[in-house]
A and B are shown apart, each in its own frame.
Chain A
Amino acid sequence: MQKGCHMQKKVLQLLVDNTSGVLSRIAGLFSRRGYNIDSITAGVTADPRFTRITIVTSGDDEILDQIEKQVAKLIDVRDLKELRPGESVYRELAMIKVRVSMAQRQDVIAVANLFRANVIDVTPESLMIELTGDQDKIEAFIRMLDGYEILELARTGIAGLGRGIENVTYLE
């Protein structure tokens, strides 16, 4: 069986019991079976008993199918769905610290404004910018900073939700 010939990305949304070790169970499953994690984000939901996890993974059809089955098999996992591109919204937060001189500062702020990014820290030699968006937007913004020295960059990985109310999972 040739693996990895038709690699594609998939965004999975998990609703899991907020037990100790739940993240390591999920991350451990991916690492021991050799599945890819492009990004993983986790945070408690409105109900503190549960955590929502968004995983971006990649693989061919067979592997992606196995990933869903193996993840669904974990006992802490209450709900698993794929967040398909057209039917879902993805967001990622990036924080970027750029070295800028006094002369460059206004140019960088202008680019940040174009992307509706916020300047959240400023010093005589640097700017820190906060940007939210899908991955393409963040990558486009980083490309716009080409020519400036990026001192530090932190990205959260994407969080996502399906659109509308049709696919909401209600938990008692």
Chain B
Amino acid sequence: MLGADAMVKCLEEEGVKYVFGYPGVAICPFYNSILDSDIHTILIRTEQNAAHAASGLARVTGQVGVCAVTSGPGATNVITGIATAFADSIPLVCITGQVNSELLGSDVFQEADITGAVESFVKYSYLVRNADEIPRIFKEAFYIANSGRKGPVLIDVPIDIQNAVINRFKYPEEVTMRTYKPTVKGHAVQIKKVVKELSKAKRPIICAGGGVLLSDAEQELRAFAQKHRVPVVSTMMGIGVMPTRHPMYYGMVGNNGNPYANRAMNESDLLIMVGARVADRAVSQPDLITENKVLVHIDVDPAEIGKNVGPTIPLVGDAKHIIADFMEEEFVCEHEEWIQTLNGYRETMGRIRKPNPDFVDPAEFIRMLSEAMAENAVYVADVGQNQIWSCNYHIVKDGRFLTTGGMGTMGYSIPAAMGAKLADKNRQVVAVCGDGSFQMSMMELATMRQFDIPVKIIVLKNNYLGMVREYQHYTYKDNYSVVDLSGSPDLEKLSSAYDMKFMRLCTMERAQETIDEFLMGNESVLLECLIDPMDLVK
């Protein structure tokens, strides 16, 4: 057995079904061995998207996403995808081929010090020096990626190690790492303290972040909020923890969030942040959430607690376990007046938009689209104005909302949607992007076609990098610099080049029929919506 065979065997042991990647000489032994396996390989069109596609798959399955690329440029291209997964805490194992061990450090063709380069974007990285270490390293890598605060792990495997003969393959049953033991269970004393605060609170609120989804604790959190009638708001990464129309849900907080969600959070007397980093986009003024209130911060990563804001009650552990512990506590939590107040805010503090009737109104369009989407559909938002409109107007029913809230990497939606679609080809998956972000990933239309991955794509087209244009509108008084997207391709011709169905919506007049036709059947469609170039998210 060769090192490369062992690598594939490890992936089989981990139950991996898809590997996204791009070959090159340095990873060829691995791609040769994988031919003998049932694992599907997806040839992505640029390496960055391999990591995004693996991220989409990981987020809907809860399993580790895997990508495999070659040394040098293959490895450096995947860095943005790895950094995106790191910022969003998505479990990935990224395998990179490397030049011959004996040539390491001599700047030979396609050599890059990838473990050094990704150091600040990975949970851990390995440079395999001995083929016999492959089973242990892979076992550890999958464990590290998908436990504690999840994130990407990189394994760099020199070509001679992939070609080395291994005498005996034994995949470890358990991981023995003395230095890595994430705290899962919450401290009992701290849990009691939180319960005591809950029973005293007049205006309690929970702010749910992406960590709740990562620990698969949505059902627990919904049940808890329902049982004790505790209102919930979410961060961008926490969208989908609560169905949008859940009576206890009050929307997304932050500088792009709902005014009433922010008001609710600021006016609360007990704020329970769970699986949220208290990062600048969600909480631009950390002192506002500590003033006049008790702040409880629940996170599996102890370093997140106290990083941006000092909580009254820190509580380290996994959201699923901790909420289950809360559920076992008997206490009374009475604050009906608070709920009435929040419901009043919700009714009176909605956004008012004045859409231009000559174009598609992205807000109303997204609302109608999500109404028509399947109950369990996956909606993947890209980055830009489209992301903010998606966050604000998409209605999550029983599906998922995916976006990169941490890194904000343009071009994320199409590859991530492909990963999500592969997890379950019968599930409806819609990617929504702008004409800027679409062009960062449009090469993947070929991948969708080649591997029959019928993602539905919406391009909100305004011929601008809209989010930056909006920023320049406010900050530089309409002095637009490098935001004009003239020269973009005719998407109808482009769709036809990829043998893909194309639709166009110019105003809201035919919105309903267009949406119905767009969503019909399980085939790829590209729907172009012409939106007002001067439209603003704020």
Selected contact of A77 from candidates B120, B127, B179, B307, CB within 8 Å:
B179
Q: With contacts A66-B303, A70-B303 known, is A75 near B179, CB below 8 A?
A: yes
* A 72-116 binary contact with B (CB < 8 Å = 1; else 0): 110111100000000000000000000000000000000000000
Tell me the nearest residue of chain B to A16, going by C-beta: B179
Q: Does A137 contact B (CB under 8 A)?
A: no
Once A75-B177, A78-B178, A78-B179 are accepted as A-B contacts, the answer to whether A21 and B115 lie under 8 Å apart by CB is yes
B321 CB, nearest partner CB in chain A, Å: 20
Given A21-B115, A24-B119, A28-B119, verify A171-B303 contact (CB < 8 Å): no
Task: Say whether B123 faces chain A, with CB atoms less than 8 Å apart.
Answer: yes
* B141-188 at interface with A (beta carbon < 8 Å): 144, 177-180
Given contacts A17-B179, A62-B310, A78-B179, contact A73 B116 (CB under 8 A): no
Chain B residue nearest in CB terms to A66:
B307
**Set B119, B178, B302, B303: member contacting A25, Cβ < 8 A:** B119
Query: In the assembled complex, which residues on chain B have CB atoms less than 8 Å from the CB atom of A76?
Result: 179
Q: Which residues of B contact A62 (CB under 8 A)?
A: 306, 310
Binding site for A on B (CB under 8 A): 115-116, 119-120, 123-124, 127, 129, 144, 177-180, 286, 301-303, 306-307, 310
Output the nearest chain A residue to B301 by Cβ-Cβ distance: A73
Are A73 and B303 in touch, CB under 8 angstroms?
A: yes
- Could you mark each residue 1-16 of chain A with 1 if its beta carbon is under 8 Å from any beta carbon of chain B, else 0? 1000000000000000
Residues of A within 8 Å of B301, CB to CB, are: 73
Q: Which residue of A lies closest to B307 (CB)?
A: A66
A143 within 8 A of B: no
Given A20-B127, A75-B124, A75-B180: A69 and B302 within 8 A (CB)? yes
**Given the complex of chains A and B, what is the CA–CA distance between A69 and B314 in angstroms?**
13
A interface residues (Cβ-Cβ under 8 A, vs B):
1, 17, 20-21, 24-25, 28, 32, 62, 65-66, 69-70, 72-73, 75-78, 171-172
Cα(A84)–Cα(B178), bound, Å: 25
Does A65 contact B306, Cβ atoms closer than 8 Å?
A: yes
- Complex CA–CA separation, A139 to B179 (angstroms): 37
| Interchain residue pairs A-B with the least CB separation, the first 3 | A69-B303, A78-B179, A75-B124
In the complex formed, the residue of B with least CB distance to A31 is B120
A25 to B178, CA, bound (A): 18
* 9 contacting pairs across A/B (C-beta < 8 A): A17-B179, A24-B119, A69-B303, A69-B307, A70-B303, A73-B302, A73-B303, A75-B123, A75-B179
Nearest A residue to B182 by beta-carbon distance?
A73
Residue of B nearest to A33 (CB): B120
Residues of B within 8 A of A77 (CB): 179
Please, which residue of chain A has its CB at the minimum distance from the CB of B125? A21
The residues of B that contact A73 with a CB separation of less than 8 Å are 301-303
Residues of A within 8 A of B310 (CB): 62
Q: Tell me which of B116, B144, B179, B306 contacts A21 (CB under 8 A).
A: B116
Q: Which chain A residues border B123 with CB–CB below 8 Å?
A: 75
Closest B residue to A78 by beta carbon equals: B179
Distance of A20 Cα from B126 Cα, bound (Å): 9
Complex: chain A residue closest to B124, CB-CB: A75
Q: Are B120 and A32 in contact (CB under 8 A)?
A: yes
Distance in angstroms from A18 CB to nearest chain B CB is 12
Decide: A171 and B178 in contact? CB cutoff 8 A: yes
Q: How far is the CA of A24 from the CA of B179 in the complex (A)?
A: 18
Given A69-B302, A69-B306, 19 additional A-B pairs, CB 8 A: A20-B127, A21-B115, A25-B119, A28-B119, A28-B120, A66-B306, A66-B307, A69-B303, A69-B307, A70-B303, A72-B303, A73-B301, A73-B302, A73-B303, A75-B124, A75-B179, A75-B180, A76-B179, A78-B178
A20 CB contacts on chain B under 8 angstroms: 127, 129
Distance between Cα atoms of A150 and B105 in the complex (Å):
38
Q: Which of A21, A25, A32, A73 has the most CB of B within 10 A?
A: A73
B303 neighbours in A (Cβ, 8 Å): 66, 69-70, 72-73
Closest residue of chain B to A15, judged by CB? B179
Q: How many whole Å from A171's CB to the nearest CB in chain B?
A: 7
CB distance from A46 to the nearest CB of B (A): 17
**B179 nearest CB neighbor, chain A only:** A78
Q: Within 8 Å CB of B144, what residues of A?
A: 75
CA distance A20 to B104 in the complex (A): 14
**Cα–Cα, bound, A76→B127 (Å):** 14
Return chain B residues, CB-CB under 8 Å to A28: 119-120
CB closest chain-A residue, reference B286: A1
Residue of A nearest to B287 (CB): A1
Q: How far is the CA of A49 from the CA of B177 in the complex (A)?
A: 14
- A152 CA to B218 CA, complexed, in Å: 64
Residues of A within 8 A of B127 (CB): 20-21
Q: How far is the CA of A17 from the CA of B177 in the complex (A)?
A: 11
A69 to B297, CA, bound (A): 16
Residues of chain A lying within 8 A (CB to CB) of residue B302? 69, 72-73
**In the complex, what distance in Å separates the CA atom of A100 from the CA atom of B178?**
54
- When chains A and B are docked, how far (Å) is the Cα of A171 from the Cα of B177? 12
Q: How far is the CA of A56 from the CA of B119 in the complex (A)?
A: 23
Q: Which A residues lie within 8 Å of B115 (CB)? A: 21
Shortest Cβ distance from A122 into chain B, in angstroms?
41
Note all chain B residues with C-beta closer than 8 A to A24.
116, 119
CB-defined contacts of B306 to chain A, threshold 8 Å: 62, 65-66, 69
C-alpha spacing A28/B302, complex, angstroms: 20
The docked-state distance in angstroms from the alpha carbon of A66 to that of B307 is: 7
A31 to chain B, nearest CB (A): 10
Closest to B126 in A: A19
Q: State A1–B144 Cα separation when bound (angstroms).
A: 33
Q: Report Cα–Cα, A36/B127, bound state, in Å.
A: 28
Nearest Cβ in chain B — how far from A71, in angstroms?
9
- CB of B163 to closest CB in A, whole Å: 21
Question: Which residue of chain A has its CB nearest to the CB of B306?
Answer: A65
For residue A25, which residue of chain B has the nearest CB? B119
Closest to A76 in B: B179
Shortest beta-carbon distance from B145 to chain A in Å: 12
C-alpha gap A62/B303 in the complex (Å) = 11
A78 to B179, CA, bound (A): 5
The closest CB in chain B to the CB of A17 belongs to: B179
State in angstroms the CA–CA spacing of A21 and B306 once bound together.
29
Q: Which residue of B lies closest to A79 (CB)?
A: B179
User: Which of B120, B124, B179 gathers the greatest number of chain A CB atoms within 10 Å?
Assistant: B179
Minimum CB distance partner of A1 in chain B: B286
Residues on A with beta carbons closer than 8 Å to the beta carbon of B177: 75
Which residues on the A side are within 8 Å of B178 (C-beta)? 78, 171-172
